[in-house]
């Protein structure tokens, strides 16, 4: 069996019981690294205490760029290795931050593996759910839709969503952070928007007043919640 395991938002206490139980039974665990030359994995650091000492841990580089040929080559090589491991009767896992089905690198693997081996995907707590609950900030209510957006989309499309939708989750906000804050201020949404960096990690920062926040203040792992029907104060 191959398991895709969501490990949540950065705090080992938020890892689900199901994920902990599976991690304890694996023969092999694949952990993603951002750089080819390193063995450190944020996802692995979250669940290190839950991994069975007999489990073989394989750190593998997962490219974080948009060069299609390089990406496809890397994913195919890793997928082939996973297929080989599973075919020898091993229980194999792959861990990913947040939830495996929300803007996750795991999805690339799933596309390749889904018709080749038996797969079980285990959910994890996504960052926007963690942020909303910890800060008593409702995401959506009534008949309003919840719009979840990567802030890397075209800036005018982003502006249109912010102007016309009531409940929005903005992920991947780092690159366009200053432009996004300008849009929120233009729409008088300062008191309806919550920005959080490094949710549930030791270095977590909550920005309840976005007026004076700049890109240089936030981390790469920053999410913004918007609810036009809810005020922060």
CATH of the domain at 103: 3.40.1010.10
Neighbours of 20 (CB within 10 A): 17
Do 31 and 67 share a domain, yes or no?
A: yes
Q: Answer yes or no: is 9 within a domain.
A: yes
- Of 25, 73, 60, 31, the residue nearest 48 (C-alpha): 31
- Residue 158 pLDDT exceeds 80: yes
pLDDT, position 90: 98
pLDDT, position 93: 98
pLDDT, position 209: 87
Phi/psi of residue 6, nearest 5 degrees: -80, 130
pLDDT band per the 50, 70, 90 thresholds, residue 201: confident
Between CA 211 and CA 225 the distance in angstroms is 15
pLDDT, position 35: 67
pLDDT, position 38: 60
Which domain covers residue 14, as residue numbers? 2-122
Query: What is the count of structural domains for the chain?
Result: 2
- Residue 109 pLDDT exceeds 70: yes
**Per-residue pLDDT reduced to its tens digit, 42-64:** 899 999 999 999 999 999 987 76
Q: Answer yes or no: is 53 within a domain.
A: yes
- Of 78, 87, 98, the residue nearest 27 (C-alpha): 87
CATH of the domain at 203: 3.30.950.10
- Of 150, 231, 161, the residue nearest 190 (C-alpha): 231
Span 115-123, mean pLDDT?
Answer: 97
Domain end call among 122, 156, 180: 122
**Per-residue pLDDT reduced to its tens digit, 92-107:** 999 999 999 999 989 9
Do 155 and 108 share a domain, yes or no?
A: no
| Mean pLDDT value across the chain | 92
Span 206-222, mean pLDDT?
Answer: 90
pLDDT, position 67: 62
């Amino acid at each position: 069996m191959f398991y895709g395991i969501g490990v949540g938002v950065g705090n080992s206490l938020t890892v689900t019981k199901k994920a902990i139980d599976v991690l304890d039974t694996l023969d092999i665990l694949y952990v993603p690294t951002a750089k080819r030359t390193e063995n450190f994995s944020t996802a692995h650091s979250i669940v290190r205490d839950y991994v069975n000492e007999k489990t073989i841990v394989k750190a593998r580089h997962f490219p974080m760029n948009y060069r299609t040929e390089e990406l496809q080559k890397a994913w195919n090589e890793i997928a082939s290795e996973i297929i080989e491991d599973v075919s020898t009767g091993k229980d194999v896992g792959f861990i990913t931050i947040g939830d495996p089905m929300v803007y996750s690198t795991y999805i690339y693997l799933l596309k390749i593996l889904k018709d080749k081996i038996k797969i079980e995907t285990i959910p994890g707590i996504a960052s926007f759910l963690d942020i909303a609950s910890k800060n008593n900030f409702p995401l959506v209510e009534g008949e309003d839709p919840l719009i979840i957006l990567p802030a890397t989309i075209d800036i005018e499309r982003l502006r249109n969503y912010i102007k016309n939708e009531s409940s929005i989750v903005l992920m991947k906000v780092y690159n366009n952070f200053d432009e996004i804050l300008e849009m929120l201020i233009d729409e008088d949404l300062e008191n309806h928007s919550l920005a959080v960096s490094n949710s549930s990690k030791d270095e977590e920062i909550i920005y309840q007043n976005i007026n004076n926040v700049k890109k240089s203040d936030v981390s790469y792992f920053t999410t913004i919640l918007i609810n036009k029907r809810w005020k922060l104060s």
